[in-house]
Amino acid sequence: MTNHINSTARASLNGRTPFELALLLLDSKLLELLDLHVIESDKIILTPRLLKH
């Protein structure tokens, strides 16, 4: 669920995603350990259906 939310572009981030910001600020090893990764924009699910996967 976190990967889907953080892969969604935000106007407040000038069209960037929170994940892109995390890549700039955090060590990539930390993101890997937390199993955080980008979801392609056409595959993002932001509905309750996501919880069923």
Kindly report, residue by residue over 20-34, the tens digit of the pLDDT. 999 999 999 999 999
Query: Distance from CA of residue 1 to its chain's centroid?
Result: 9
Q: What is the pTM of this model?
A: 0.82
Asked if the model's pLDDT at residue 11 lies above 70, the reply is: yes
Is residue 6 within 8 Å of residue 19, measured between CB atoms?
yes
**pLDDT score, position 53:** 59
Q: What is the pLDDT of residue 15?
A: 97
Tell me how far apart the alpha carbons of residues 41 and 17 are, in angstroms, rounded to a whole number. 10
